[in-house]
Amino acid sequence: MSVAETGVAELPQNARSLRLGTLVGLRWLAIAGQTAGLLFVSFGLGYPLPLVECLGLVTLSVLLNLWVVFRLGEGYRPSAGAATAQLAWDLCQLASLLALTGGLENPFSLLLLAAVSVSATSLPRRSTLIIAALAVVLASLLAVFHLGLPWDPDAQIIFDRVYVIGIWVSIVCGVTFIAAYTNKVAHEARQLADALAATELALSRREQLTALDGLAAAAAHELGTPLSTIALAAREMHDELPEGPLREDVELIMSQAARCRDILTTLRSHHDTPGDPFAAVAVSELLEELVQPHDAGDGLIDIRTEGAPEAEPVVQRSVGLLYGLGNLVENAAQFAQDKVEIVANWEKGRLTITITDDGPGFPPELLTRLGEPYLTTRARGDSTEPGGLGLGIFIAKTLLERTGAKLGFANATPEGRHARVTMVWSRDMIDQGLAP
């Protein structure tokens, strides 16, 4: 089942999961361990080693930590490239310390695996391959180029070449195992977490839809009786009133009551009648049908099609599709000043419908949140713009996503005016019949 079919927003594929505080904390731990080890060997054991140069390398890591913390903050989540660069520095700094203190003969050469392990568990596969390759290169250089191991000057220690080669082989094997196996396990764990999150989102959205369906059915049932009473009273008043403005107002009430009755009938029937010969309709005809209630003949709504007429898609008429598109058209007509433009394009293997009005546009601060429930730009208490619950766009977006559409909200002008809603369906999905 695709994301569009479940009505779940697509999960980010490049999520920055590694927090900067984690890298900084690991580096502080390494700095503390390196400093303690150097001081113990130099002053505790009395072994000669280039202490100034070693402490200089440790100081560079301290400065790096202080710089990234004060500049970015520990809560910052670096990109994969930035995190890879920091781990590469940690590897090079450790390799430099090892080169000054015996190379692979130093038992702490095993710590070359630490950066590979961090990358394998938290960064993409490409980053892990880069860190793993760097670790192998550094281990190979350390096997050849390094100073002597700090040791008792009165005793002589000699490591056989085969022993050093064995250490190199063990480090390379450890790097390969961690980069391959650990990264695969971590990747599968992330996939499972994403799948669970998608499932929770699907269940949450389905519960919202079920609640809305129940609310619609209850509203249709409860409003039926008072609406019939209004229509009956209006009809009696119409018969008794002479020609004039008051009679015209009563006729308007009767026409709107009839429209409300049609809407309630639509809400009661969630599926089209099986075998209905009019269930399938061309896109242009569907749009004409949707704009008819909102077009008073003043040319407010303009429909334009782009694509070969013989290739025009035929879609299945469904309550979700009709209500979702109709709601967006109604919103555009309400906020437009002089024109609403609807463009249907069926080229490049997909159907794209764009609705653009020449109104004030979407508020920039709400643009990224459009489609959330209870989000409205209308001020309560405004006599010209009555306040609402902000469920209109949420319901339209949810119902259209159930048909397989991908929606986008934007403003058509650089000044942030003229609201535009774009809906895209794949042609294959349309040919197979849109989801209900």
Q: What average pLDDT does this structure show over 168-197? A: 80
323: nearest Cα among 394, 384, 253:
394
* Predicted pLDDT at 271: 45
Q: How many whole angstroms separate alpha carbon 374 and alpha carbon 267?
A: 21
Mean pLDDT is highest, among 3-12, 80-89, 155-164, 240-249, for 80-89
Query: Do 90 and 61 have their domain in common?
Result: yes
The domain containing residue 370 runs over which residues?
280-432
Q: How many whole angstroms separate alpha carbon 388 and alpha carbon 376?
A: 7
Token pair 């202080």: residue: 66
Q: Is the pLDDT of residue 217 over 90?
A: no
Q: Is the pLDDT of residue 381 over 60?
A: no
Q: Is the pLDDT of residue 344 over 60?
A: yes
Range from 101-105, 346-350, 369-373 carrying the lowest mean pLDDT:
369-373
Contact 318, 405 (CB under 8 A): no
Query: Do 193 and 244 have their domain in common?
Result: no
Q: Of residues 128 and 387, which shows the higher confidence score?
A: 128
Q: Of residues 318 and 126, which shows the higher confidence score?
A: 126
C-alpha R_g of the chain: 34
* Predicted pLDDT at 275: 45
* pTM for the whole structure: 0.48
Q: Is the pLDDT of residue 273 over 50?
A: no
Query: Do 238 and 194 have their domain in common?
Result: no
Cβ neighbours for 375, distance < 8 A, ≥ 6 positions apart = 366, 369, 390, 393, 394
Q: Is the pLDDT of residue 200 over 60?
A: no
Q: How many whole angstroms separate alpha carbon 286 and alpha carbon 219?
A: 26
171: nearest Cα among 91, 130, 112, 127:
112
Query: Do 185 and 224 have their domain in common?
Result: no
Of 149, 170, 201, which residue constitutes the final position of a domain?
201
The per-residue pLDDT for range 14-23, each reduced to its tens digit, is 444 678 888 8
Query: Do 97 and 245 have their domain in common?
Result: no
135: nearest Cα among 82, 164, 81, 94:
94
**What's the pLDDT band for 11 if we cut at 50, 70, 90?**
very low
Range from 30-39, 217-226, 306-315 carrying the lowest mean pLDDT:
217-226
CA 308 to chain centre: 34
Identity of the residue numbered 247: R
Q: How many whole angstroms separate alpha carbon 331 and alpha carbon 407?
A: 15
List the alpha helices (DSSP H) in 269-342. Answer: 283-291, 319-335
Query: Do 237 and 185 have their domain in common?
Result: no
Query: Do 354 and 259 have their domain in common?
Result: no
What percent of the chain has a predicted confidence (pLDDT) above 90? Answer: 26
Q: How many whole angstroms separate alpha carbon 150 and alpha carbon 315?
A: 79
* Predicted pLDDT at 15: 43
CA of 149: how far to CAs of 94, 138, 141, 269, 436, in Å?
A: 15, 17, 16, 84, 73
* Predicted pLDDT at 342: 93
Q: How many whole angstroms separate alpha carbon 338 and alpha carbon 315?
A: 30
Other Cβ atoms within 10 Å of 61 Cβ, number: 20
Classify residue 331: in a domain, yes or no: yes
Query: Do 401 and 256 have their domain in common?
Result: no
Q: How many whole angstroms separate alpha carbon 116 and alpha carbon 26?
A: 13
Q: Is the pLDDT of residue 3 over 60?
A: no
Classify residue 6: in a domain, yes or no: no
Query: Do 299 and 412 have their domain in common?
Result: yes
Query: Could you give the angle at the alpha carbon of 109 between the alpha carbons of 108 and 112, nearest 5°?
Result: 115
* Predicted pLDDT at 376: 62
Q: How many domains does the chain have?
A: 3
Q: What average pLDDT does this structure show over 114-141? A: 91
Q: How many whole angstroms separate alpha carbon 157 and alpha carbon 139?
A: 21
CA of 202: how far to CAs of 169, 244, 271, 407, in Å?
A: 49, 55, 22, 17
Classify residue 243: in a domain, yes or no: yes
CATH number, domain of 365, equals: 3.30.565.10
Q: How many whole angstroms separate alpha carbon 321 and alpha carbon 401?
A: 9
Q: Is the pLDDT of residue 83 over 70?
A: yes
Q: Of residues 348 and 58, which shows the higher confidence score?
A: 58
Query: Do 123 and 257 have their domain in common?
Result: no
**What's the pLDDT band for 313 if we cut at 50, 70, 90?**
confident
CA 196 to chain centre: 15
The rounded mean pLDDT for the chain is: 80
Range from 228-232, 350-354, 380-384 carrying the lowest mean pLDDT:
380-384
What percent of the chain has a predicted confidence (pLDDT) above 70? Answer: 79
* Predicted pLDDT at 19: 81
Q: How many whole angstroms separate alpha carbon 353 and alpha carbon 417?
A: 19
